[in-house]
């Protein structure tokens, strides 16, 4: 497995981010704004249709995350730069571990999605981890990655995945182009792409999920032409 984590150090600081809701099969941009009382609020904007972004997969971070009400608490490392830290022992009131394996990387949204500053995209949902694992495999196999270029990624469809009595929707991401690394992204890691590949585990996750027929939905949008100036 490319990411070295199964589907099964940070702080609570809230940075600009996008999130994928696996229960609804939708991608959201989260905007922060002040209300009339001066307090900050989070506003969700659905960007599922034609969702396209630059993905800094060279700096993908893996490890443990607790999406707490106060904000995410992370114990992550850049893939291939260090060993994944031990799972924190924190438990909830139900006795279950609070930290789950997850990933995170920086994205630049297409201007049609709102553009703006660099944002973070991460998840601990098994079906999302599997989707990003496949995307990362495609990235690692591409010669453009070895040249230091950054992929332009599109969410092309979602598929229903039934697990027990619940149904989640797994996204499918495809690389539709490449661009030079923007100054809005962090520098590329010192280790080569090949080093990251050798550092990851090859054991695929076991989720216990079975595929179900996808729900009736709008047809997947066709890949759109995009250039470096169209992001951020």
194: enclosing H helix or E strand:
helix 193-199
CA distance 113 to 230: 10
Q: Tell me how far CA of residue 21 lies from CA of 25, 44, 45, 64, 107, in angstroms.
A: 6, 11, 12, 19, 17
Closest CA to 47 of 67, 24, 65, 77: 24
- Per the DSSP assignment, residues forming a β-bridge with 73 are 66
pLDDT tens, per residue, the chain with 232 residues: 466 555 543 444 567 999 999 999 999 999 987 787 878 788 999 999 999 999 999 999 999 999 887 778 899 999 999 999 999 999 988 989 999 999 999 999 999 888 989 999 999 999 999 999 999 999 999 999 999 999 999 999 999 999 888 999 999 999 999 999 999 999 999 754 444 444 444 333 444 444 444 444 444 444 444 566 789 7
pLDDT 10s digits, 10-28: 444 567 999 999 999 999 9
CB–CB of 44/21 below 8 Å? no
Q: Where are the domains of the chain?
A: 17-189+208-215
Average pLDDT along the chain: 83
Centre a 10 Å sphere on the Cβ of residue 29 and count the other Cβ atoms it contains. 21
User: What is the rounded CA–CA span in Å between residue 212 and residue 207?
Assistant: 14
Distance CA 185, CA 38 (A): 30
CA 118 to chain centre: 13
pLDDT per residue over 54-72, tens digit each? 999 999 999 999 988 777 8
Question: CB–CB of 216/153 below 8 Å?
Answer: no
* Backbone angles phi and psi of 96, in degrees to 5: -90, 150
């Amino acid at each position: 497995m490319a990411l070295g984590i199964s589907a099964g150090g940070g702080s609570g600081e809230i940075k600009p981010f996008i999130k994928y809701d696996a229960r609804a099969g939708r991608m959201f941009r989260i905007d922060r704004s002040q209300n009339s009382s001066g307090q900050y609020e989070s506003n969700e904007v659905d960007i599922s249709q034609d969702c396209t972004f630059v993905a800094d997969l060279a700096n993908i971070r893996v490890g443990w995350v607790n999406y707490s009400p106060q904000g995410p608490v992370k114990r992550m490392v850049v893939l291939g730069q260090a060993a994944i830290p031990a799972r924190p022992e924190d438990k909830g009131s139900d006795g279950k571990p609070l930290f789950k394996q997850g990933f995170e990387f920086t994205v630049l949204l297409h201007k049609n999605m709102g553009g703006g500053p660099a944002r973070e995209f991460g998840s601990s949902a098994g079906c999302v981890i599997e989707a990003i694992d496949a995307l990362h495999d495609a990235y690692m196999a591409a010669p453009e990655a070895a040249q230091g270029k950054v992929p332009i990624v599109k969410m092309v469809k979602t598929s229903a995945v039934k697990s027990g009595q619940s149904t989640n929707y797994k996204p499918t991401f495809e690389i539709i182009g490449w661009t030079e690394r923007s100054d809005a992204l962090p520098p590329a890691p010192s280790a080569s792409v090949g080093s990251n590949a050798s550092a990851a585990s090859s054991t695929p996750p076991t989720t216990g999920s079975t595929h179900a027929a996808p729900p009736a939905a709008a047809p997947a949008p066709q890949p759109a032409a995009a250039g470096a100036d169209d992001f951020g």
